Amino acid sequence: MDRRQFLATTGALALATAAPRALAQGTDDARLSAAFAAIFERQLDLSPSFVTSLGLDKGARAGAKSQLDDNSKSAMLKKLAATQAAIKELDSYKTASLSDAQRLNLDVILYALDQQTVAPAKFGLNSAVRPYRIFQQGGSYFSTPDFLNTAHTINAAADGDAYVARLEAFARNLRTDTALQRDEAARGYLAPGWSLDLTLGQMKTLRAQPAAASSMVQSLVKRAAAKGIVGDWQAQAAAVVEKSIYPALDEQIAAIESLKGETAAGDGVWRTPRGDEIYAAALKSATTTDLSADQIHAMGLEQVADISAQLDAILKGAGYAKGMIGERLAALNAEPSQLYADSAEGRLALLAQLNRDVDAMKAKLPNAFATIPDTALEIRAVPVEIQDGASNGYYNRAALDGSRPAIYFINLKDVGDWPKYGLPALTYHEGVPGHHLQISTAQTASDIPMLRKTAFMSAYSEGWALYAEQLADELGGYATPLDRAGYLQSFLFRAARLVVDTGIHAKKWSREQATDYMVEKTGFARPRCQREVERYCTQPGQATSYKVGHGVWTKARADAQAAQGKAFDLKQFVTDRLRPPALL
């Protein structure tokens, strides 16, 4: 099947893995597996941060723990050359004698590698989906402190020394980011002015902390103390923050302030050189299809109308009968009985409920899954230093060896963003049976190459997470009609994203126009909607992957049920398809 084929008769896409494949034997399988392994090792050589994120920074790769990725332009070109060389090597296997399973691995991995080359080779950028060097959700200032706190483990004195070394590397990366942002701004690639304002606010919040009391220092101090690791960690780390990181951050703040007046008007990527081409590349990367912006926009409008009609009946039954769907949802969102207290205690209560929801769903999983990984999951609030620009919720994978748990983050800047009836759907999306179950299943699969396990295809993963919300409904995860309204509101939100993302980047909608649409259709509070829209403005295409991917999952299941009739087995369906990333 052409991975990019749009099935006009169904309005959906089809998974390349929609039916189980025969395991025909191939004489070149072992040789290709060795090639996959060698290419993966070369990827690790170029990314010490990736090594740490996978929990591989020990043994022969212990040295990676003292380093951060080189974020220079030369490093980008080096990675591009390595990826192109890997593609050339793997292309030679297209005519080899391979089993069906290994040929699928080859197809998926080649596609993923090819997509990695598009932005650097064609546009001189790291990513079409993230075309700006520094913005409210991107840049070393945003990602590195969180990475050090969540991915860099502290179990021995050597880990503390490595942490301090990475603080020095952070200062160097800040300066590299600043220089490259100046260069890219001169080429026309600079985030919108409001994004730079948010960015400056977050930088200044990070900078305002006394060095010794900063989150970067205290992360090391507290974790070392908890493990009884002796050392003057506060003095060592604070010295680096004070003498290296803060001066580099001051330079970056000054640079962004000086550049802000140069940014082009508008909010979509169309405002940049070759912006229409970048958006087409971003849509292809996010959806793994050749669907046009107009097709995706129309799909979104249709789905918004359909889901709104389903919500109408539930809301009427709950006594919310007047006004547009968005107005009724907004009224429900403001109902005092639906809100946690805007306090430290209220936030703790909210997190406790999320953990109870995860535990309750885990007990139901055997009804739909034959194999359930036991990978640990923590639920945390987004760090306050980045919550103004961060997403509402997101997931970080666990270490491969289980030495570090997976983390489901929720942005608790405003608890009013999280009425109780909507939280179960979010937990099923980010936790189980969503991202946590799918990614843990991929990571623990013994018969899949690491190149494929660690590849990220947004439409596959985000499509699964939405399908997981739907599956949770079948498993009895929504205890009340209002909980089910929260699930449908989640779908409505993702359908509206199809309209908004294409509106911003293809139809030149403003940030305000897009936010108005989100508020009107979804009923979510304006600050929450605006934070989401700001993400779409600066990360073109990504928001379209959810509902495009979901359409594939639901069609794959419908096709299986139609073909198998009464013999359809939900557990078998999930087992056959809940694998590392596949093509749409």
**Is 276 within a domain?**
no
Q: Is residue 23 predicted with pLDDT exceeding 50?
A: no
CB contact at 8 A, 378 and 33: no
| Cα separation, 193 vs 263, whole angstroms | 6
Q: Is residue 15 predicted with pLDDT exceeding 60?
A: no
The reply to whether 36 and 158 lie within a common domain is no
**Is 17 within a domain?**
no
| Cα separation, 183 vs 172, whole angstroms | 17
- Segments forming the whole domain that contains residue 80: 28-124
Q: What 3-state class would DSSP assign to 189?
A: coil
Q: How long a stretch of residues is the chain?
A: 584
**Is 175 within a domain?**
yes
Mean pLDDT score of the chain: 93
Mean pLDDT of all residues in 516-536: 95
* Sign of the C-alpha dihedral computed for residues 367, 369, 375 and 377 taken in this order: negative
**pLDDT tens digit string along 184-229?**
999 999 999 999 999 999 999 999 999 999 999 999 999 999 999 9
Mean pLDDT of all residues in 159-185: 98
CB contact at 8 A, 574 and 368: yes
Q: CA angle, 224 as apex, 221 and 228 as ends, to 5°?
A: 130
| Helical ranges in 245-377 per DSSP H | 246-259, 275-287, 293-317, 325-333, 344-364
Tell me which DSSP letter residue 183 carries.
H
The type of residue at 59 is: G
Q: Is residue 362 predicted with pLDDT exceeding 90?
A: yes
CA-to-CA dists, residue 31 to 21, 96, 451, 467, 498, angstroms = 21, 10, 15, 36, 42
Residue 220: CB atoms within 10 A of its CB come to: 26
Residues 6+ apart with CB under 8 A from 3: 16, 107, 111, 288, 289, 583, 584
| Cα separation, 199 vs 177, whole angstroms | 13
The reply to whether 311 and 250 lie within a common domain is no
Residue 390: CB atoms within 10 A of its CB come to: 23
Q: Is residue 6 predicted with pLDDT exceeding 80?
A: no
CA-to-CA dists, residue 248 to 220, 292, 501, 541, angstroms = 21, 42, 34, 32
What is the reported pLDDT for 389? Answer: 78
The reply to whether 425 and 510 lie within a common domain is yes
The reply to whether 515 and 557 lie within a common domain is yes
Q: For 337, what's the count of Cα atoms within 13 Å in the CB-facing half-sphere?
A: 2
Q: Which helix (H) or strand (E) holds 378?
A: strand 377-381
**pLDDT tens digit string along 262-296?**
999 999 999 999 999 999 999 999 999 999 999 99
The reply to whether 451 and 545 lie within a common domain is yes
Structure tokens at 151: 């991915």
Tell me which DSSP letter residue 561 carries.
H
- The residue among 95, 124, 153 that closes a domain is 124
The reply to whether 511 and 374 lie within a common domain is yes
Percent residues over pLDDT 70 in the chain: 95
| Helical ranges in 23-130 per DSSP H | 29-45, 48-53, 73-91, 100-118
Q: Is residue 441 predicted with pLDDT exceeding 60?
A: yes
Residue 176: CB atoms within 10 A of its CB come to: 18
Residue 309: CB atoms within 10 A of its CB come to: 10
- Token pair 């050090």: residue: 148
Residues 6+ apart with CB under 8 A from 218: none
- The residue among 207, 232, 265 that closes a domain is 265
Q: Is residue 584 predicted with pLDDT exceeding 70?
A: no
**Is 12 within a domain?**
no
The reply to whether 381 and 420 lie within a common domain is yes
* Sign of the C-alpha dihedral computed for residues 156, 161, 166 and 167 taken in this order: positive
Least confidently predicted of 85-89, 389-393, 497-501:
389-393
- The residue among 265, 296, 319 that closes a domain is 265
Q: Cα-Cα-Cα-Cα dihedral of 110, 111, 112, 115, to 10°? A: 120
pLDDT band at 542 (very low <50, low <70, confident <90, very high): very high
The reply to whether 251 and 345 lie within a common domain is no
The reply to whether 56 and 139 lie within a common domain is no
The side-by-side arrangement of strands in the sheet containing 393-396 is 377-381, 406-410, 393-396
**pLDDT tens digit string along 377-434?**
999 999 988 888 788 889 999 999 989 999 999 999 999 999 999 999 999 999 999 9
- Token pair 């449908």: residue: 488
Beta bridge partners of 381: 410
Domain count for the chain, please give it: 3
The reply to whether 538 and 478 lie within a common domain is yes
Mean pLDDT of all residues in 470-489: 96
**Is 207 within a domain?**
yes
The reply to whether 40 and 85 lie within a common domain is yes
Tell me which DSSP letter residue 488 carries.
H
**Is 1 within a domain?**
no
| Cα separation, 551 vs 554, whole angstroms | 5
Tell me which DSSP letter residue 135 carries.
B
**Is 7 within a domain?**
no
Q: Is residue 12 predicted with pLDDT exceeding 50?
A: no
pLDDT band at 562 (very low <50, low <70, confident <90, very high): very high
CB contact at 8 A, 436 and 408: yes
Q: Is residue 21 predicted with pLDDT exceeding 60?
A: no
Q: pTM for this one?
A: 0.92
Q: Is residue 2 predicted with pLDDT exceeding 50?
A: no
The reply to whether 308 and 404 lie within a common domain is yes
What is the reported pLDDT for 574? Answer: 86
What is the reported pLDDT for 391? Answer: 82
pLDDT band at 7 (very low <50, low <70, confident <90, very high): very low
CB contact at 8 A, 328 and 421: no
Q: Is residue 583 predicted with pLDDT exceeding 80?
A: no
Tell me which DSSP letter residue 156 carries.
S
Structure tokens at 260: 């802000």
CB contact at 8 A, 468 and 437: yes
- Token pair 């200044």: residue: 204
| Cα separation, 470 vs 476, whole angstroms | 10
The closest of 286, 136, 249, 156 to 201, measured between CA atoms, is 136
| Cα separation, 377 vs 409, whole angstroms | 11
Q: Chain centroid to CA 292: how far?
A: 22
**385 vs 169 pLDDT, higher one:** 169
- SS3 for 386-415, per residue? CCCCCCCEEEECCCCCCCCCEEEEECCCCH
* Sign of the C-alpha dihedral computed for residues 573, 578, 581 and 584 taken in this order: positive
Residue 328: CB atoms within 10 A of its CB come to: 22
**Is 8 within a domain?**
no
What is the reported pLDDT for 267? Answer: 98
CB-count burial class (<10 Å; 0-12, 13-18, 19+) for 343 = exposed
Q: Is residue 25 predicted with pLDDT exceeding 70?
A: no
β 393-396/377-381 pair status:
unpaired
Q: Is residue 20 predicted with pLDDT exceeding 60?
A: no
